[in-house]
Amino acid sequence: MIYALGAFDGFHLGHRRLLERAARRAAEGGAGWGVMTFEGHPRMLLNGGDFKMLFSPEERGVIARSLGVPRMERIPFTREFASLSPEGFAGFIAERYGIDGLVVGENFRFAKNRAGDPRVLAELSAERGWSLDVMPSYRIGGCVVSSTETRIAVSCGQMRRAAELLGYPFMISGEVSHGDERGRKIGFRTANIAMRKNKVYPPFGVYAALVSIDGGWLAAALNVGDNPTFGGDAEPRCEAHILDYGGALYGKTLTLFIVSEIRGEIKFASAHELAEQISHDAAECSIACRGYLSRNEAAMRKFAALL
C-alpha cells in the first residue's frame, strides 16, 4: 500500500497533490493506495482543546470519497501516541499497516516534539524498504495553500477565498432540529442546525450556501448568529432558509456548502424590516449559488451523489 500521510484537516488543493502522487505510485507498482491520518487533530490534544477543526470526521469522510480516496486509515491521536519517538512512530505504523511507500508534504512533522521531518522519515523509510515522496508546498498567487490559511479565511468570513484554497466550498452539516419558528412567522421557514463545539465557523452574518436534497442542489440563505433582532439566543446556531423548498427536514442531516459571504449580522428595528432584508438576501444568494454551480458542476455533482 502507498499511503498519503498527514493530518488532512480538510483536503485542500495542496493535499490533492499528495493524493495524486500516491495514486500514481500505486499504479506504477501495482499496489493499492489510501490516506493515513489521525483520529482527532494533533493540535486538539496538544493545544489543550482550544483548536478548532475545519471539518468533522463525517464531513472529512465525504470529502475523501468525493476525491476518490479508496481507503482511509485513522490513527487515534492519544498522549501515548504523541510521545513516540520518530523510530517509535515508524515502528507503530509498520506493525499495523502493510506499507510499501509514503507520500508527505515538505512541512510534515511527526513524533514527540515534532522531532521527525521528511529527512528523518527518509532514513526510516530506507531502513524498511519503503518508497518516500516529499511533495513541495502548493501555492496560489504566492501564498502557500494550507489548512491554517483556510481556517483563517473561514474565521474571517472570506468564504470565496476558502473555496479557492480547498477546491470546493467550505462545508457545515448537522441534524435539523426544531427552533422557535420565528422565520415561519415572518414568511421564511428555516432549518436550524446546532454549531459543533470543535469546528471553525465563519463570523456571524448571512452567507450563500448550496444544499443537496434528493440528489439535486438548492440555494439557501444561511444565517450564522444568535438572532439579535429578537433579543439574542442563548446559543449561536446556523439557520438555513432553503429557496423554493417546502418539504419536512426535521431529524434529517443537512450538509451546506458555503459559496459566498453576503453581509454581516444586523439587529433590525422590527420583524418587518428583517423580512424585507431576508428577501433581498435570498435574491443575492440565488445569484451566487447559480453562478458557483455553473462554474463547478462536475465537482458538485460528485458531492450530491454522496449525500
Task: Give me the tens of pLDDT residue by residue for the chain, a chain 307 residues long.
Answer: 999 999 998 899 999 999 999 999 999 999 999 999 999 888 877 776 678 999 999 999 999 999 999 999 999 999 999 999 999 999 999 999 999 999 999 999 999 999 999 999 999 999 999 999 999 999 999 999 999 999 999 999 999 999 999 999 999 999 998 876 666 656 688 999 999 988 999 999 999 999 999 889 999 999 999 877 655 666 888 999 999 998 989 999 999 999 999 999 888 878 888 889 999 999 999 999 999 999 999 999 999 999 8
Q: Are residues 163 and 295 in the same domain?
A: yes
Q: What pLDDT does residue 150 have?
A: 98
Q: What pLDDT does residue 183 have?
A: 60
Helix/strand/coil percent split, the chain, to 5: 40, 25, 35
Last residue of a domain, one of 116, 143, 170: 143
Residue 302 CB burial class (10 angstroms; 0-12, 13-18, ≥19): middle
The answer to whether position 149 is within a domain reads no
The answer to whether position 92 is within a domain reads yes
Q: Are residues 107 and 200 in the same domain?
A: no
Domain region containing 127: 2-143
Q: Are residues 136 and 32 in the same domain?
A: yes
* 53 SS3 class: strand
Domain of 302, CATH number, reads: 2.40.30.30
Last residue of a domain, one of 143, 169, 191: 143
Q: Are residues 95 and 232 in the same domain?
A: no
Domain of 6, CATH number, reads: 3.40.50.620
Last residue of a domain, one of 91, 108, 143: 143
Eight-class DSSP state of 111 = S
Q: What pLDDT does residue 231 have?
A: 59
Q: Are residues 169 and 302 in the same domain?
A: yes
Strands (E), 110-169: 131-135, 139-140, 143-144
Q: What pLDDT does residue 273 have?
A: 86
User: H or E segment at 225?
Assistant: strand 216-225
Q: Are residues 272 and 186 in the same domain?
A: yes
Q: Are residues 252 and 224 in the same domain?
A: yes
- Cα-based angle 149, 20, 296 (whole degrees, multiple of 5): 65
User: What is the distance between the alpha carbons of residues 177 and 194, in angstroms, rounded to a whole number?
Assistant: 8
Q: What pLDDT does residue 168 have?
A: 97
* 124 SS3 class: helix
Q: Are residues 137 and 168 in the same domain?
A: no
The domain tally of the chain equals 2
List, in order, residues 6 or more apart from 46 with CB less than 8 Å away. 82
Closest CA to 75 of 56, 99, 92: 92
